[in-house]
């Protein structure tokens, strides 16, 4: 295997088919549920006669670096620990470099046990074996674009890479004669052949191949388990410790499902090929995103449209001031506040003097222009908190919150002066004249309703008109037609 090839990193989410594989490198959390097995008298006698169980531990070049205190941290180890707990005997690991060395030690009695073996590994000898403690699906690893399909029939006549060890362990080459098998020395070599297109797939136990895929390989490989065939692991037992066979089988039987799941989950977590379709996911996210943006855009447009409608329904088109409806609404609001919080306020009702004449002499367009100029003056001379509304044709109402008569007079005086500054446009400068307005002022009184307040202001305005225009009149609190206390001409 090329160095670079072996170190390929998982670099993309799309096509990442194997989500999590062997993640656990520490000791398994075991023994939480498994109880001690019940042994027969002869089994107890056997166990009493031994101090420890000698376990042959095969260490190869690739696993050597994982040795810790003569132990390899493997899934078999986790099962052995559970067995050791049940029989209350320590495990003593004897390192061997090959299976045949392990076999020799089992035969001589130097080892009582050897783990991680295929059933019938030592058939024809008097070495015994336990029941299978591990049963694992067989995985096919193929390029994503050359997926093997779900049925084994679709896989016939394909060329499969297989490690020599697994080939002899599993006898797959004999069991599946329809395939062309190509034996390789190790898993990385097999996976490289898949990537290079030399074989259609690599076949191996799921647990073994998973680790390599997660750590070293591109995301374009797909893993599937199309075979009924499973890969089993058993313990080989020395004939010198024959009683161990039933002891181990009992201990294995006694391992709780929870403990088995805990061990297996810690070592093997594989998601198969048929899972997330990231292209579909990306498309769905894209469409969803576009839909969301579309709806957001529509929502913004609708909000703006509604704001527009609200504005239209509240404002006077010509002057941009509040219309009669909105001004009325504001007036009621301030009357309610006055009643509840004693928050006084004043109203100033204003009417442009002789506006009909302006219209008649200069035309309606000039009249309109005057109305706009008046509106602008009212706005610029008032506070931000004042409400200015077009009350009728050439009549305006100004609501001044928190303003008593004294201050309302001051405001009106300012308005009176600034309105006088508005001239009536004319082609001939010498003929230009100015406009004026009359004002009626009233401050809210305890007995006032909306109508009495407006009537009092109106009465004051009428009085200002009758008294010669271009002035303001202050209404005294009380009945609308009660006395007018002040007339101020400018």
Ligand X SMILES: Nc1nc2c(ncn2[C@@H]2O[C@H](COP(=O)(O)OP(=O)(O)OP(=O)(O)O)[C@@H](O)[C@H]2O)c(=O)[nH]1
The whole-angstrom separation of Cα 65 and Cα 52 is 26
Minimum CB separation of residue 471 from ligand X in Å reads 12
Phi-psi category of residue 387: left, alpha or beta, with phi > 0 → left and psi -120 to 50 → alpha: beta
CA distance 368 to 381: 20
Kindly tell me which of 263 and 374 has the beta carbon lying closer to ligand X: 374
Question: Closest approach of Cβ 374 to ligand X, in Å?
Answer: 11
Nearer to ligand X, 265 or 368 (CB): 368
- Identify the bridge partners of residue 100 per DSSP, sorted by sequence position: none
- What CA–CA distance (Å, rounded) separates 329 from 314? 10
| Euclidean distance between CA atoms 30 and 24, whole angstroms | 13
The active-site residue, picked from 394, 395, 428, 447, is 394
Minimum distance from residue 293 beta carbon to ligand X (Å): 44
**Which residues here bind ligand X, judged by CB under 6 A?**
318, 351-356, 359, 364, 367-368, 371, 393-394, 465, 469
Under a CB-based contact definition with an 8 Å cutoff, are residues 80 and 27 in contact? no
DSSP one-letter code for 246? H
In the complex, least distance from residue 355 CB atom to ligand X, rounded to whole angstroms:
3
Supply the angle between the helices 355-362 and 364-381 in degrees, to the nearest 10.
140
Q: d(Cα 154, Cα 415) in Å, to the nearest integer?
A: 94
Q: Strand, coil or helix: what is 201? A: strand
Nearer to ligand X, 83 or 437 (CB): 437
Nearer to ligand X, 259 or 394 (CB): 394
Is 43 a known active-site residue?
no
Residue 371: CB minimum distance to ligand X, A: 6
Looking at the Cβ atoms of 91 and 460, the one nearer to ligand X is: 460
Q: Among 484, 393, 408, 488, which residue's Cα sits nearest to residue 443?
A: 408
Identify the DSSP state of 429.
G
Nearest distance from C-beta of residue 359 to ligand X, angstroms:
5
Between 289 and 393, CB nearer to ligand X: 393
Going by their DSSP bridges, the two strands 201-205 and 134-143 should be labelled as antiparallel
CA torsion sign for 239, 243, 249, 251 is negative
> Which residues are part of the catalytic machinery?
394
């Amino acid at each position: 295997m090329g160095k670079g090839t072996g170190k390929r990193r998982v670099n993309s989410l799309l096509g990442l088919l194997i989500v999590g594989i062997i993640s656990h490198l520490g000791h398994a959390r075991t023994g939480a549920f498994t109880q001690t097995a019940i042994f027969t008298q002869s089994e107890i006698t056997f166990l009493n006669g031994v101090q420890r169980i000698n376990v042959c531990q095969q260490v190869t070049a690739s696993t050597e670096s994982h040795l810790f205190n003569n132990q390899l941290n493997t899934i078999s180890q986790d099962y052995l620990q559970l067995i050791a707990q049940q029989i209350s005997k320590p495990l003593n690991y004897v390192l061997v470099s090959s299976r045949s060395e392990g076999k020799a030690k089992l035969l001589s009695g130097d080892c009582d046990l050897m783990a991680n073996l295929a059933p019938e590994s030592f058939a024809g000898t008097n070495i015994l074996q336990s029941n299978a403690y591990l049963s694992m699906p067989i995985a096919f690893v193929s390029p994503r674009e050359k997926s093997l399909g779900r049925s084994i029939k679709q896989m016939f006549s394909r060329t499969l890479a297989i490690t020599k060890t697994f080939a002899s362990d599993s006898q797959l080459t004999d069991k599946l004669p329809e395939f062309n098998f190509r034996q390789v020395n190790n898993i990385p070599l097999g996976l490289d052949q898949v990537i290079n297109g030399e074989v259609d797939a690599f076949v191996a136990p799921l647990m073994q191949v998973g680790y390599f895929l997660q750590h070293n390989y591109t995301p374009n490989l797909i893993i599937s388990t199309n075979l009924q065939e499973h890969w089993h692991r058993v313990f080989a037992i020395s004939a010198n410790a024959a009683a161990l066979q039933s002891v181990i089988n009992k201990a294995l039987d006694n391992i709780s499902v929870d403990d088995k799941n805990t061990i297996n989950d810690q070592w093997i977590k594989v998601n198969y090929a048929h899972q997330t379709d990231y292209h579909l996911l990306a498309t769905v996210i894209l469409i969803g995103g576009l839909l969301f943006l579309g709806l957001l855009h529509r929502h913004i447009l609708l909000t703006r449209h509604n704001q527009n409608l609200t504005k239209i329904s509240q404002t006077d088109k010509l002057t941009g001031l509040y219309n009669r409806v909105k001004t009325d609404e504001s007036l009621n609001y301030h009357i309610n506040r006055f009643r509840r919080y004693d928050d006084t306020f004043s109203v100033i009702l204003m009417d442009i003097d002789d506006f009909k004449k302006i219209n008649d002499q200069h035309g309606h367009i000039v009249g309109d222009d005057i109305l706009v100029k008046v509106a602008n003056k009212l706005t610029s001379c008032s506070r931000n908190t004042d409400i200015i509304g077009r009350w009728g044709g050439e009549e305006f109402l100004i609501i001044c919150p928190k303003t008593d008569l004294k201050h309302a007079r001051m405001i009106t005086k300012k308005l009176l002066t600034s309105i006088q500054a508005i001239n009536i446009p004319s082609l001939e400068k010498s003929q230009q004249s100015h406009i004026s307005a009359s004002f009626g002022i009233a401050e809210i009184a305890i007995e006032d309703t909306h109508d009495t307040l407006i009537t009092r202001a109106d009465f004051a305005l009428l009085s200002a008109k009758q008294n010669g225009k271009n002035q303001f009149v202050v209404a005294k609190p009380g009945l609308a037609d009660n006395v007018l206390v002040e007339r101020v001409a400018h």
